[in-house]
Amino acid sequence: MTPAPRVGIIMGSRSDWETMRHAAAMLDELGIAHEVKIVSAHRTPRRLYDYAETAAERGLQLLIAGAGGAAHLPGMAAAMTPLPVLGVPVESKALNGLDSLLSIVQMPGGVPVATLAIGKPGAINAGLLAAAILALGDAALATRLAEWRARQTENVAEHPE
Ligand code: RP5
């Protein structure tokens, strides 16, 4: 039986998948069941409302939301769910993701979005941060995450050649 998803990965457009797939890959690597959906704050606002308002009752524990440009998706999702929301600024063509970053990070006090770096590093770290949060109540996941981190450390060479 497929385990129920614990994390919801949402993104504003299919074009965001090239970035957000790195978050999904990290969750896969750490054995965290997740679902992936395109939900646009601007093009599919009703889908966003439905998704965010039902996420917790459907059993999700955390959302990772990626968007680019006028990136309202993470903030709007955070406004409608009690779950922690991790925001990934997707690298936009016009402004290299600076617009995405500022749109996501400058939330008003009272509606938090944990904002990651622009692009692929942010997506990878969103997966790792999601794992660290979920590991607080999941000893087996905490072990897998610790092992992942140990492998990363071991793989750093002492010399460049
Ligand atoms: C945002 O606009 C999306 O998150 C995406 O990063 C950006 C461009 O979307 P497309 O025009 O490629 O669909 O809503």
Spell out the domains of the chain, with CATH numbers in brackets. 7-154 (3.40.50.1970)
Which residues share a beta bridge with 10? 37, 65
In this predicted structure, the answer to whether residue 25 has a pLDDT above a threshold of 90 is yes
Q: What is the CA(46)–ligand 1 centre distance, in A?
A: 17
Render pLDDT for 59-118 as a digit per residue (tens, 0 to 9).
Answer: 999 999 999 999 999 999 999 999 999 999 999 999 999 999 999 999 999 999 999 999
Q: What is the CA(15)–ligand 1 centre distance, in A?
A: 6
Stated as kind and residue range, the H or E segment containing 45 is helix 45-54
Please indicate whether residue 99, judged by its CB atom, sits closer than 6 Å to ligand 1: no
Please indicate whether residue 87, judged by its CB atom, sits closer than 6 Å to ligand 1: no
Render pLDDT for 137-157 as a digit per residue (tens, 0 to 9).
Answer: 999 999 999 999 999 999 999
pTM score: 0.97
Place of tokens 């509606």: 111
How much is the pLDDT for 1?
Answer: 80
